[in-house]
Amino acid sequence: MGKLGITTDVLNQKGSPALYQDLFGNIPAAGYTGRLFVSTDTNNLYRDNGSSWVQIAGSSGGSGVTSITGTANQVIASAATGAIVLSLPQNINSGASPTFAGITLSGLSSAGIVINNGSGVLSTTNGTGFVKISGGTISYDNSTYLTTAAASAAYQPLITLTTTGASGAATFTSNTLNVPAYTLAGLGGISLTALSASSPLSYNSGTGAFAIQVANTSQAGYLTATDWNTFNGKQAQINGTGFVKASGTTISYDNSTYVTLTAFSASSPLSYNNATGAFAIQVANTSQAGYLSQSDWNTFNSKQSTITLTTTGASGAASFISNTLNVPAYTLAGLGGISLTALSASSPLSYNSGTGAFAIQVANTSQAGYLTASDWNTFNGKQAQINGTGFVKASGTTISYDNSTYLTTAAAASTYLPLSGGTLTNVNNVLTISTGGAGGAAYQTFVNNGGTYTIGGDNSGGSLSGSSYAFYIAAPSGKSIVLGSALSGTSASFSSTVLSKGGGNVITADILAGASTLKGFTIQRNDVEKFNIGLDGSDNLAFINSSGTSVASVTSTGQATFANNITALTAFFSTLSVAGYTYTSSQTITAGYLIVYGSGGSAGQTLTLPAASGTNQQLFFKNLSSNSVTISRAGSDNLIALGTSTTSTTYTLAAGGQCGFVADGASKWVQQY
């Protein structure tokens, strides 16, 4: 194909590269032999002979066409009128897609692959082996190639490309090259919705994908490979002087006859003015065939170029420059690694330099190694080491030393009081221990401070009446039994105490005369009553202070009542005043869980948070003043608004409002409410 200017050119055949029409003052420079130029203001026709334009028809040169021969339905000439009618069986303009049943290229005489030298010249090449393409050159490659199995055994395994992530550097691990799927947002670009496209382009703002439609007879678009081959296979350019004629599939110049301007006509996409002899061609668009306009050419030419992948280098980050994506062919040496053969191991370890796998053998009676779970359980279940002085004792499967001091029978008889019989004197008056009783039940009584106390099994021989008790401690009326350290005073009195009744641990007692609350347990410090736990007159569990006032109670259904209702939290906040945690002016907070901006605080004050790093501390704010207060970050920390990921440097707490922040231990304070 010859060179064409993309303006209002018309592609002709056999030596006439193009037909132009314009004012004579706009005639282009000569240099393409065979081109025709129609001057619309002088009505003259000129031909380019390669170095200058030669007038061949018009008011001052040449004569009218008197005769022309041609093939039916292709070129019709009238000698009488001088009219020449071009009536081809199908369109041959640059935007059309003519179809031929076949084409014979006599210059291709040998069998082989047909190639294009880039200038429209076809030739054949042949040989033996694989066909390879290098730029615009096609040739045979007689190299030796490996099978997949042989290549896998002899060379580095294939690198797998992944696109995990949206930012950061590319990584290469275990033959996997990860180049993040970079996004405009991740790279600081614009959003997908900021882009758009118009026909013949289309754009999906959800995926960011641009597309271009295929050009055909009714719409502009890109040229398919099929159409390219169709256009490329059309009639080669012709070169000569005279009118164009067609004979079969051959188009040539005929210099023998001429016709008048009125003998010409044209059909779409061409138009013809028989008064001026000017041919024109319409612009191609979505609804009509024609020539490609400059703006459409620029539109098509500005599309995304093909991206080329290269693997230059063995280390460093991937790069994308001038439509070339370079991902280095990473190697261990390039990444500062070592080969598998550089490693080794000694017993009990072993190493496979082919796979890089380390292993350790199992320990047994003849070799060192790791301890199996089964052996660990066996060893762990053995007798622990014992150490000490004294008797050795066994408890089940456990053997240990008993370092207790043991007395002989004779030494014990002279040192301790027998459990059955005997008298202990000089302990708060006289303490007498007795045994035996009616029915043979075991019990002991002792007298102290004028009262008799009884300790026994069931009460068949004891001093209590009623149901049997597995064990009891009975005190005389008006006395109490205190479990704990030695006390010099007495606790609140109740008539009797029974432990472990009926298989459960219970406390039974009577409410003292004139009292509304039973003090079941008394908690003292230094013989001073502090707190009591017992039953009130409604059999609710009561908590009584040292003044005898119930501060809390729990019913049998679990309902709790407190003297100071928890719902008074707002009043608690409004009256709270803790030194070091209540502020009325700008401060940097250093400690504490509760921060109160007091009622005396003025407008325009700022409370600065401590650093978020180092600890997951919590701070709760209550603004009791009539002015808003600003809560500010420390240093470069950020505040995260409630329920979002939005960051800020300050937060405004309105008058009477409250909020809470928790530190993430690094650089953020996250709002909780």
The model's pLDDT over 1-55, given as tens digits with 9 standing for 90+, comes to: 444 444 444 555 555 677 889 999 899 999 888 889 999 988 889 899 999 999 9
Note the Cα 278 to chain centre separation in Å.
Answer: 66
**Strands (E) located in 323-388:** 324-326, 349-352, 357-360
Distance CA 122, CA 136 (A): 12
Q: Measuring CA to CA, how many Å separate 94 from each of 86, 103, 216, 270, 292?
A: 16, 19, 12, 12, 9
| Residue-wise pLDDT tens digits, 348-360 | 989 898 888 889 9
SS3 at position 245: strand
418: pLDDT confidence band, cut at 50, 70 and 90?
low
Kindly state the DSSP code that residue 27 receives in the 8-state scheme.
P
What DSSP line would sit under 210-227, residue for residue? EEEPBP-SSS--BPPHHH
Helices H, strands E: what count in the chain? 6, 49
Q: What is the pLDDT of residue 368?
A: 92
Q: Please give the residue that has the higher pLDDT: either 338 or 164.
A: 164
CB 576 within 8 A of CB 563: no
How confident is the model at residue 214, as a pLDDT?
92
Is the Cβ–Cβ distance between 277 and 243 less than 8 Å? no
Distance, in Å, from the CA atom of 68 to the CA atom of 253, rounded to the nearest integer, reads 11
Q: What is the mean pLDDT of residues 463-472?
A: 47
Find tokens 């190697």 and name the residue: 331
Higher pLDDT, 476 or 60: 476
Q: Using 50, 70 and 90 to split pLDDT, how confident is the model at 108?
A: confident
CA triplet 143, 146, 148: central angle to 5 degrees? 145
Over the stretch 543-568, which tens digit does the pLDDT of each residue have? 777 777 777 778 877 676 766 544 33
Helix (H), strand (E), coil (C) string for 130-158: EEEEECCEEEEECCCCCCHHHHHHHCCCC
- Cα–Cα separations (whole angstroms), residue 315 to 179, 284, 330, 357: 14, 51, 5, 25
CA dist., res. 548 & res. 531, Å (int): 9
Q: Is the bond preceding 418 in cis, omega lying within 30 degrees of 0?
A: no
Cβ atoms of 17 and 2 closer than 8 Å: yes
| Single-letter amino acid code for the residue at 659 | C
Backbone torsions φ then ψ of 451, nearest 5 degrees: -130, 155
Alpha carbon distance 90, 109 (integer Å) = 30
Q: What is the largest CA-CA distance in the chain?
A: 167
Alpha helices by DSSP H, listed for 319-367, are none
- Tell me the C-alpha distance between 530 and 526, whole Å: 10
For residue 300, pLDDT over 80 is answered with: yes
- Over range 332-346, report the average pLDDT: 82
Question: Average model confidence (pLDDT) for the chain?
Answer: 74
Q: How far apart are CA 244 and CA 261, in angstroms?
A: 15
DSSP letters along 416-445, please?
A: S--SSS-EE-SSSS-EE-----GGG--EEE
The sign of the dihedral angle between the CA atoms of 116, 117, 120, 121 is: negative
The torsion angles phi and psi of 131, rounded to 5 degrees, stand at: -95, 135
The answer, yes or no, to whether residue 224 has pLDDT greater than 50, is yes
Choose the weakest-confidence range: 31-45, 114-128, 179-193, 569-583.
569-583
The answer to whether 669 touches 663, Cβ cutoff 8 Å, is: yes
Cα torsion 648, 649, 652, 653: sign: positive
| Average pLDDT score over residue span 647-659 | 91
User: pLDDT band at residue 79, thresholds of 50, 70 and 90?
Assistant: very low
> Do 597 and 623 form a contact (C-beta atoms < 8 A)?
yes
What letter does residue 481 receive in the DSSP assignment? -
Q: What residue spans define the domains of the chain?
A: 14-97+219-301, 108-144, 160-204, 568-671
Percentages helix, strand, coil for the chain, rounded to the nearest 5?
10, 30, 60
